[in-house]
Amino acid sequence: MLAVLRDRTYRRLFTAQVIALVGTGLATVALGLLAYDLAGADAGSVLGTALAIKMVAYVGIAPLVGAVADRLPRRALLVGADLTRAGVACALPFVDQVWQVYALVFLLQSASAAFTPTFQSVIPDVLPEERAYTRALSMSRLAYDLESLLSPALAAALLTVISSNWLFAGTVSGFLGSAALVVSTALPKATAALPRSGRRARPTAGMGLFLRLPPLRALLALNLAVAAASATVTVNSVLYVREMLGLSAGVVPLALGAYGAGSMAVALALPRLLDRVADRAVMLRGALLMTLVFGGLGVITASGGGSWRLPGLLVLWAAFGAACSAVLTPAGRLVRRSAPADQRTAAFAAQFSLSHGCWLLTYPLAGWLGATAGLLTAGVALGAVTLAASLLALRLWRVPSAAVEHEHTDLRAGHPHLADATRVAAGWRHRHGYEVDGLHPLAVDR
């Protein structure tokens, strides 16, 4: 899998992503400490509001960026987002009012909503061959998982020798380092189909693809399943450990680490698996695994006690991580394959926005149900959401029909999809398994 780092452009971009992720992780810890300094006992509500603002920025800003990104230099857009985030991080240590925190968090996360989909849309052009792109997706998944595990530990180590405000300096360094790497990298021109006269990009263009194309409609349902499972882990782990099992707070990171370990294990295994197995089979099985894990969680929650419950919880959390990774890691392949090249950035922006919209629903649902109705009720409700979303995805994402001979009239010569096509008078003709997607809008969905 590391062979993909031999590509100089991708290596620089991946390094930029890792450095920026470390900066983001340090900022997360520093924001928690800043909230406590400003609000004291109300720090939890301040952080909760800040996280809600983060999700609102992700849901609202990403489609707007997707509508204009293809008309802007991608390198300038990425660097501008990094510099904006660095500027916000510079300002955060000097705030003395809670509302200022909210305003700066919105600006910070709006810049992230511009950076991430644009970055994701660049990688398919850097690595057009699907095997290499699959390995890049796994590398990205590993980077996210490692950041969630290592950034808190790095912050804790730094806090033994520096004050909390200096953590923001680490954040600034991360974003500036990411910007420097992007500036020094020559990005390839975006792959584009033939222009369609009279069409202008709209903020809803990417979302329109998700509503129109069956594989992307299924991905939207899968996003909801992942959000329900990950919200259970992220929001209620502390309740499972402290309230249900009666263990110390030090066990909570162990549970979260089990989730990350499961996710990383699958991310490492997926490149070879996806060489032999279709995305559909992997992603749908990952979603159905989540429903089984919720069943096991119900057994542990309903049981009266026993020393076996902690090992059981760790196994279930690792299984949650594995199942979520099985869905999230190949998602980029599905978006790239489904969206026309000239709408790829809009499609990645829609995926970013819609997936975080699902988390915006499930995070408060998990927290409210866990606190008011109990963990068993919360598990049953979120498990039901996961099961319904998984069955909906299974229904929406049909197996492609048998190989059908067809023509493409709107793709330029040299387009990757035409590798095995023959030139004909009207365009290009070839034969393969047929599925409704961005390149085959007239296919029959059977």
Q: List, for residues 29-85, the tens digit of each pLDDT value.
A: 788 778 778 877 676 667 667 878 888 888 888 888 877 776 778 889 999 999 999
Q: Which CATH architecture has domain 202-397?
A: Up-down Bundle (1.20)
CA distance 390 to 181: 40
> Sign of torsion, CA 335 341 345 347?
negative
- Here the tokens at position 195 are 């222009």
Residue 181 has pLDDT above 70, yes or no: yes
Question: 15 in helix, strand or coil?
Answer: helix
Instruction: Give the model's pLDDT for residue 302.
Output: 92
Alpha-carbon Rg for the chain in angstroms:
22
Closest CA to 175 of 25, 20, 29: 20
Place of tokens 């003395």: 96
DSSP conformation class of 410: S
Q: 418 near 319, Cβ under 8 Å?
A: no
Instruction: Give the model's pLDDT for residue 446.
Output: 34
Buried b (16+ CB within 10 A) or exposed e, 119-131: bbbbbbbbbeeee
CA distance 23 to 169: 9
The amino acid present at 214, given as its one-letter code, is: P
Q: 230 near 365, Cβ under 8 Å?
A: no
Closest CA to 117 of 356, 362, 438: 356
Highest mean pLDDT (candidates 138-142, 221-225, 335-339): 221-225
Q: 354 near 207, Cβ under 8 Å?
A: yes
Domain ranges of the chain: 1-189, 202-397, 401-434
Instruction: Give the model's pLDDT for residue 198.
Output: 43
Compute the mean pLDDT over every residue in the chain, rounded to the nearest whole number: 84
In which band, very low, low, confident or very high, does the pLDDT at 152 lie, cut at 50, 70 and 90? low
Q: Which residue has the higher pLDDT, 411 or 24?
A: 24
Each residue's pLDDT tens digit, 216-275: 999 999 999 999 999 999 888 888 988 888 888 778 888 888 998 999 999 999 999 998
Q: Which residue has the higher pLDDT, 124 or 427?
A: 124
pTM of the entire structure? 0.81
The continuous run of DSSP H or E covering 134 comes out as helix 130-159
Q: 26 near 174, Cβ under 8 Å?
A: yes
Answer whether 1-189 and 202-397 agree in fold. Answer: yes
- Here the tokens at position 347 are 């499609």
pLDDT > 90 fraction of the chain, expressed in percent and rounded: 31
Q: In which order are the strands placed within the sheet that holds 427-434?
A: 401-408, 427-434, 422-424
* Multiple choice CATH, 1-189, 3.20.10.10, 1.10.287.130, 1.20.1250.20, 2.40.10.120: 1.20.1250.20
pLDDT > 70 fraction of the chain, expressed in percent and rounded: 87
CA distance 218 to 230: 18
The continuous run of DSSP H or E covering 399 comes out as none
